Structure 1
Amino acid sequence: MNERRPTSPPSSATGRRRRGSRTRDRRGGRHRLLWPGLAAGAVLVLAGGLALKGATESAGRPTGTAGASSATGRPGSQEAGETAEAPKDEATAEPEKEKERKRGQEEGRDPGSIPSSGPGTFATADGGGDRVGGSGRTLTYVVQVEDGIGISAQRVAAEVERILADERGWTADGKVGFRRVAGGTSDFRVRLATAGTVDDICGRYGLDTGGEVNCNVGQDVMVNLKRWLLATQYYADDVTSYRALIINHEVGHFLGHGHEGCPGPGRPAPVMMQQIKGLHGCRTNVWPYDADGRPVTGPALR
């Protein structure tokens, strides 16, 4: 996967950015299959186009690790296993659009009604949470939701807290801890925003999220509203789990973890695997550790 290192972003109110590992370009490919016919003298030619998902979830976006962020020395990244999809044949694209429509209806939103852009300003969830995790360093974070998208910052904060507190999450190493705060100085920010705002913030670090994917740059974990509401084809029936994958993947980049591949057929996909590009024989999985506290990993990818 080609990687593009982001240049330092212009100074702005939005801050810093993310994981290259993280995200992600995707590349698409097309395969043509020729099958000989059984009838004498007849040859049946089947042409099929397979759109392969790109590295992090953006069509035509840069894959993988971008340059290190000035704040953390970590690579900027495009999403949690999420990269925008490559263009598809009309025959392939229509069924996927139909799946997104149904997922949107189940979530109480038609994909067509999800705003694609917003003001770029954010509301921060009030209050704070208890510290969760091991006895080592405590990372503080705020949860913010872009204004005007009709989603409660408090509701998103509750979901993010639940994910980061799960015993299968990053705290399973017994060292790192997390605590949500309502303002002031924090180590990182989880920000749910429209595709246009995600593209803008990630783009300041040289990442092309293509209106489709998430990214982590600097101190910001940027969550694309479309992905938050609709997930992807592999999690079409479990949007809640997909949200855990987004948070764990992007926070994983913030913690310094790079992308990983499938460790073998039938085994759980690592949370740092770009699952949107395909499972490659692995099973879906959204947690960095299993129920017994063992890390779920795979071969490191460049």
Structure 2
Amino acid sequence: MNERRRPNLPPSSAPGRRRRGGRARLRPGGRSRLLWPGLAAGAVLVLAGGLALKGVTEPAGRPADAAGAPPATETGGTEEARKGAPEKAEDGKRGAEKEKEKDKEAGAGEKPDPDSIPSSGPGTFATADGGGDRVGGSGRTLTYVVQVEDGLGIPAREVATEVERVLADERGWTADGKVGFRRVSGGASDFRVRLATAGTVDDICGQYGLDTGGEVNCNVGQDVMVNLKRWLLATQYYADDVTSYRTLIINHEVGHFLGHGHEGCPGAGRPAPVMMQQIKGLHGCRTNVWPYDADGRPITGPAVG
């Protein structure tokens, strides 16, 4: 996939790879990609966490099963094999349920009234204190801070706990055995995960020529910008599982920071890659929020320009 020409970064921003997901309008002089997390009413969106890519639509109806459940298959073979199949199927079902429960450990709680979510804030941030242990392989270690815009009433440490959970999971970006992460609370860091109101996300992403329209998450420079509305309400495919959608946000945008581009569905019935703009349609794939499966195999698809 060809590299796009990068806009000039603001002097105050640290350099970094600019990525984002979904559909967005570019302001004059800027180029980028964003992930549109669509509205829960079923419209557009990534902060996943996107761009002026090809528009797609998704048929109405209940979203596909989560990635943990294997595609349904007919049981065949000998009579002995058929007798053993129900037990194996039940084992697979229990395994999928355990994975789903693991994804929900943090507990997202009841979703708020959309009208109660502030659309703008002061643009200043509180950084989660403390720090975390290093997680991941033996290669490079990326440090990060977690910040929450002032006045949201959400403790930064609470958000940091969710981010740490995602980045430490064995199905996350550390599964390649090369990259590691460590949360810090001060000094220099490689990137920042920042939860902010739509207005503040628009302002920060707009400095790089991106029009996030009050709905979009983005990765610009060293910032993984998370739209508060998306964090609290999720999107149509994850309306009943906000925690999993938060996982998708972090994995998708951090994936962009690591240099991964957008991907498409690899085939009907297969899990959607985490770098797929799932809000724009699953195209036969099943929902999935992890870059690797439980066996350490990457979940990928064809590159999307």
TM-score normalised by the chain length of structure 2: 0.72
Corresponding residue number in structure 2 for 1:273: 276
2:50, 2:218 within 8 Å by CA — same for their partners in 1? no
Residues 134, 17 of structure 1: alpha-carbon distance in 2 compared, 3 angstrom cutoff: closer
Instruction: State the shift of 1:107 in Å.
Output: 2.6
SS of 2:211's equivalent in the other structure is coil
| CA–CA distance in structure 1, aligned partners of residues 292 and 256 of structure 2 | 15
Residue type matched to 1:11 in 2? P
Residues 232-281 of structure 1 show CA distances to partners (whole Å, capped at 9, x for unaligned) of 00000100000000000000000000000000111000000001111111
Corresponding residue number in structure 1 for 2:8: 8
| CA–CA distance in structure 2, aligned partners of residues 106 and 165 of structure 1 | 22
Q: Does 1:125 align with 2:92?
A: no
2:219, 2:256 within 8 Å by CA — same for their partners in 1? yes
Identity, in percent, stands at: 80
SS of 1:297's equivalent in the other structure is coil
Instruction: State the shift of 1:207 in Å.
Output: 1.2
Residues 256, 84 of structure 1: alpha-carbon distance in 2 compared, 3 angstrom cutoff: closer
Residues 283, 19 of structure 1: alpha-carbon distance in 2 compared, 3 angstrom cutoff: farther
| CA–CA distance in structure 2, aligned partners of residues 77 and 108 of structure 1 | 25
Question: Which of 133, 156, 159 is matched with 1:156 structurally?
Answer: 159
Residues 120, 80 of structure 1: alpha-carbon distance in 2 compared, 3 angstrom cutoff: closer
SS of 2:262's equivalent in the other structure is coil
2:111, 2:233 within 8 Å by CA — same for their partners in 1? no
Residue type matched to 1:233 in 2? Q
Corresponding residue number in structure 2 for 1:264: 267
Question: Which of 236, 239, 244 is matched with 1:236 structurally?
Answer: 239
Gaps of 5+ in 1: 26-57, 68-74, 86-104
Corresponding residue number in structure 2 for 1:294: 297
Of structures 1 and 2, the one with the larger relative CO (CA 8 A, separation 6+) is 2
Instruction: State the shift of 1:81 in Å.
Output: 3.1
| CA–CA distance in structure 1, aligned partners of residues 262 and 137 of structure 2 | 24
1:76, 1:217 within 8 Å by CA — same for their partners in 2? no
Q: Does 1:83 align with 2:66?
A: no
Q: Does 1:198 align with 2:196?
A: no
SS of 1:140's equivalent in the other structure is strand
2:34, 2:216 within 8 Å by CA — same for their partners in 1? no
Instruction: State the shift of 1:83 in Å.
Output: 3.3
Instruction: State the shift of 1:109 in Å.
Output: 1.8
SS of 2:192's equivalent in the other structure is strand
| CA–CA distance in structure 2, aligned partners of residues 294 and 142 of structure 1 | 28
Residues 18, 107 of structure 1: alpha-carbon distance in 2 compared, 3 angstrom cutoff: farther
Residue type matched to 2:196 in 1? A
SS of 2:175's equivalent in the other structure is helix
Instruction: State the shift of 1:228 in Å.
Output: 0.2
Corresponding residue number in structure 2 for 1:34: none
2:138, 2:177 within 8 Å by CA — same for their partners in 1? yes
Corresponding residue number in structure 2 for 1:220: 223
Corresponding residue number in structure 2 for 1:185: 188
Corresponding residue number in structure 2 for 1:167: 170
Residue type matched to 1:7 in 2? P
Gaps of 5+ in 2: 36-45, 53-107
Could you list the structure 1 runs, at least 4 aligned residues long, displaced by more than 6 angstroms after superposition: none
Residues 259, 109 of structure 1: alpha-carbon distance in 2 compared, 3 angstrom cutoff: same
| CA–CA distance in structure 2, aligned partners of residues 17 and 113 of structure 1 | 34
Instruction: State the shift of 1:11 in Å.
Output: 2.8
| CA–CA distance in structure 2, aligned partners of residues 18 and 215 of structure 1 | 12
Instruction: State the shift of 1:290 in Å.
Output: 0.2
Q: How many residues align?
A: 238
| CA–CA distance in structure 2, aligned partners of residues 300 and 228 of structure 1 | 27
